[in-house]
Amino acid sequence: MEREAVLVGIDVGTSKVCALIGEVGRDGRLTIMGHGTVPTTGLKKSAVVNIEQTVRSITDAVERAERLSGWKIDRGFVGVGGEHVESMNSTGQVAVTAHHREVTHEDINRAIEVARAVNIPNSREELHAIRRGFTVDGQEGVKDPLGMSALRLEVEAHIITASATAVQNLTKCVQMAGVKIDELVVNGLASAEAVLMEAEKEQGVAVVDIGAGTTDLVMFSEGSPFHTAVLKVGGSNVTNDIAIGARTHLATAEELKVRHGTCDLRNVTDDEIAIATPGEEPRQVSRRELCEIIEARMRETFEMLAGEMARGGRGLLPAGVILTGGGSQLAGIAELGREVLRMPVRVSGPQGMGGLVDTISDPSYATAIGLLRWGAIQVAEGEPAYESAPGSGGLVGRLRGAIRSIFP
């Protein structure tokens, strides 16, 4: 495979930090060369709460990926999560100024700048301004107006913002770990790159990444996102509920959830499960009671998702919902999702990779692999459809060869 670029993705999550090194071939295929995953306690609900612990976790994950791949990580694409992530849609309209009345790159950029000129508080930072589509002299649904004859050009942009202090703290942690940031990418958009097909984006689909501390939602229609949000619930909420209900430690509750839990109560029996808590006498817990705790919390999560999707326009999702992330691996979760959301729901992990994929092919690695795919799109397309905010360190203007500073 002829190499096009070597890319790095760093997913700084609530429960783990994952660093991936991948190479992109001329054919666009992504091959994983190295990965490092370490647990962390430096984040809460995907936001940094302990800088020293977060820096140590990022450093450890990066070092593991470097050892496995033989490459030195100098810079990377970094995921941003947390309930502070919000979105809005905005339009920008300009007159086409060229004497021959043909749309130029300058006209497109001016329209996007007008769309971006929305009133964003100083406490927030723009992460993405994504072009959804253009209207040329009243003709809607134009994907690329370059070279078209026109008097007026209008663009619709999907703008995603985040808490400025949360972004600054994350940026500080990554830089203190010795890594420069190519671009900050919202986690939900990264996960979507890993698990969605272009046909699903065109048809209308939602990707839901259930992490440990938060759940990321991105809704797509006509090939681009139109609603992005983060819910402050995740897999750790289920674990906490089990720990309280079964009166046991979090580690034991997590094991009960993974080994014996399901969201589908239809075939659950009243079998007794032995709990061996260190320092206590072994005791029994009913599997049905355990699963009822899990089902109640996940039903509430899907009801919260339904409310958020309704705010975004859930009628635009004929392809349904794709679940990913570590929390999506609960047994019976798709069945419960279909019941509550009343639409198609399936679970998916990252697709179409080569290389060291045995340990990172499950849904919990969707964000990290999606960050690599995001970078590959920037390299392949030259001028990305996803604009990064000024000063975010993005690849806008630095395309092929931009990451050559990663050296063996």
Q: 390 falls in which pLDDT band (50, 70, 90)?
A: very low
Nearest in space to 320 (alpha carbons), one of 332, 293, 302? 302
Q: Which residues of 153-183 are buried (b: 16+ CB within 10 A; e: fewer)?
A: bbbbbbbbbbbbebbebbbebbeebebebbb
Residue-level pLDDT at 45: 87
Side-chain half-sphere exposure of 38, counting CA atoms within 13 A: 20
* Burial class for 50, CB neighbours closer than 10 Å (0-12, 13-18, 19+): middle
pLDDT of residue 396: 34
Please check the confidence at residue 314 and state whether its pLDDT lies above 90.
no
Type of residue numbered 13 = G
Q: pLDDT digits over 84-139, tens only?
A: 999 999 999 999 987 788 999 999 999 999 999 988 999 999 999 999 999 999 99
Least confident of 61-75, 247-261, 381-395: 381-395
pLDDT, one tens digit per residue, over 395-404 is 433 333 333 3
Q: How much is the pLDDT for 343? A: 95
Nearest CA to 341 among 300, 304, 306?
A: 306
Secondary structure of the chain: what % helix, strand, coil (to 5)? 35, 30, 35
User: In the prediction, which pLDDT does 14 show?
Assistant: 93
Residues 6+ apart with CB under 8 A from 49: 42, 43
State the architecture of 86-163 in CATH terms. 2-Layer Sandwich (3.30)
- What is the pLDDT, as a whole number, of residue 51? 96
Least confidently predicted of 119-123, 142-146, 168-172, 379-383: 379-383
Write down the pLDDT at residue 212.
Answer: 95
**What average pLDDT does range 146-152 have in this prediction?**
93
In the numeric block, the tokens 């253009």 are attached to: 134
What is the token pair recorded at 104?
């130029």
- Among 48-52, 77-81, 100-104, 389-393, the minimum mean pLDDT is found in 389-393
What pLDDT, on a 0 to 100 scale, did the predictor assign at position 2? Answer: 55
Looking at residue 384, its pLDDT comes to 40
Q: Where are the domains of the chain?
A: 86-163, 236-291
The β-bridge partners of 217 are 208, 229
In Å, how far are 72, 124, 319, 367 from 220, measured between CA atoms?
A: 36, 24, 10, 17
Of 3-7, 17-21, 140-144, 270-274, the one with minimum mean pLDDT is 3-7
* Look-up of token digits 């990264």: 190
- Does residue 392 carry a pLDDT above 70? no
Q: In 10 A of CB 343, how many CB atoms?
A: 17
Q: What tens digit of pLDDT does each residue of 325-365 get? A: 999 999 999 999 999 999 999 999 998 777 777 778 899 99
pLDDT over 90 percentage in the chain = 77
Percent of the chain with pLDDT over 70: 91
Which residue is associated with the tokens 């976790």? 57
Mean pLDDT (whole number) for 185-214: 96
Say yes or no to pLDDT of 380 above 80: no
What's the pTM value of the predicted model, to 2 decimals? 0.90
Show Cβ contacts of residue 184 under 8 Å, excluding neighbours closer than 6 positions. Answer: 78, 79, 80, 127, 167, 170, 171, 388, 392, 393, 394
Within its chain, how far is the Cα of 328 from the centroid?
14
- The whole-chain average pLDDT of the chain stands at 89
C-alpha to C-alpha distance for 379 and 382, rounded to whole angstroms: 6
The CATH fold of domain 236-291: Actin; Chain A, domain 4 (3.90.640)
Query: Is residue 42 within 8 Å of 52, Cβ to Cβ?
Result: yes
Looking at residue 394, what is its pLDDT? Answer: 40
Pick 386 or 22 by higher pLDDT: 22
Q: Looking at residues 70-91, what average pLDDT do you find?
A: 95
Q: Which residue, chain included where needed, has tokens 């030259």?
A: 382
CA distance 260 to 273: 8
| Interatomic CA distance for residues 312 and 28, integer angstroms | 32
Report the candidate in 323, 325, 327 with the shortest Cα–Cα distance to residue 363.
325
Structure-token pair, residue 312 = 């975004």
Mean per-residue pLDDT, 183-207? 96
